[in-house]
Amino acid sequence: MKRTAVLATSALALALLTGLTACGGGDSDTDAAGKPGAGATASKAEEVSPADRLAKLMITKAELKDAYEVEEPATEYAFAKSQDEVTVDKKECAPLAYALNQLPLGETTADLTRVTSKDANGYTYVTLNTYADGGAESAMADLSKSVSSCGGGFTAEAKGNSSPYDSVAAEQADKAGDESLAFKSTMTFQGTTHTMHSAAVRRGDVVAVYFAVDGRALAEGRPSDTELATTVVKTQNAKLG
């Protein structure tokens, strides 16, 4: 593995190991004089921004059982802070690079990420994305195409660091939301193989992306195969409706 890849993955391992925290015919909207009517005032008061909506949809520690922690990821260890910082050696694999690094999937109106953990036995990231009309369906379609096109792996680069993925394979997805998909990816670090499982679920104009990784295994040089936390995924999917 190139030194840049080692540095990038080492930072990821350190971040995960240390907790990844930062820690009809009703009232008119205007009256006869052209002034805002009661309907317009009420609509404005009830307006919720995409970001606020995702904040309400995101799972909380109180909603999870079994003593899970739900925290904000530490931004200083992020592989990239935006899609614009990422380059991929295979263009068709870009959606995968975004999904595996907690970046917005497609063209979003808002996104929000939290990382969940229990007894340091792996971490499950949850990234919620919301879209304008049709955007959620397009994002899911692009991710599905990326999974089927990038089985031989790909390399993503950002901020001078390189993150090579050895393989990607589709997995059986649990039925959830309006559509769902699941996949696994592998990478090699310090001579050991790490398998990371992911899933995406769309409900209306919201897409939830899940990603699991064992940061302790990365830091300690042990092979890992990290499954998504079932409690986290089921609770979040239920909250999406």
Please give the Cα distance from 203 to 237 (Å, whole number): 9
In a domain, 42, yes or no: no
In a domain, 57, yes or no: yes
User: What pLDDT is attached to residue 112?
Assistant: 98
Mean pLDDT confidence for 101-123:
93
Please give the Cα distance from 214 to 9 (Å, whole number): 12
Please give the Cα distance from 74 to 23 (Å, whole number): 7
In a domain, 35, yes or no: no
User: What pLDDT is attached to residue 12?
Assistant: 53
In a domain, 27, yes or no: no
In a domain, 41, yes or no: no
In a domain, 34, yes or no: no
Which H or E run contains 97?
helix 94-100
Kindly report the CATH number assigned to the domain that includes residue 65: 3.40.1000.70
Percent of the chain beyond pLDDT 90?
Answer: 71
pLDDT surpasses 90 at 84: yes
Structural domain count, the chain: 1
In a domain, 37, yes or no: no
User: What pLDDT is attached to residue 77?
Assistant: 81
CA distances from 91 to 95, 106, 141, 150 (A): 9, 13, 15, 10
Model confidence pLDDT, tens digit, residues 128-145? 999 999 999 999 999 999
Here the tokens at position 116 are 């969940």
- Binning the chain into helix, strand and coil, the percentages to the nearest 5 are 35, 30, 35
**How much is the mean pLDDT over the chain?**
85
pTM (global) more than 0.75: yes
Model confidence pLDDT, tens digit, residues 8-49? 444 455 444 434 433 333 343 444 444 444 344 444 547 899
Residue-range definition of the domain harbouring residue 145 = 3-22+50-240
pLDDT surpasses 70 at 221: yes
In a domain, 38, yes or no: no
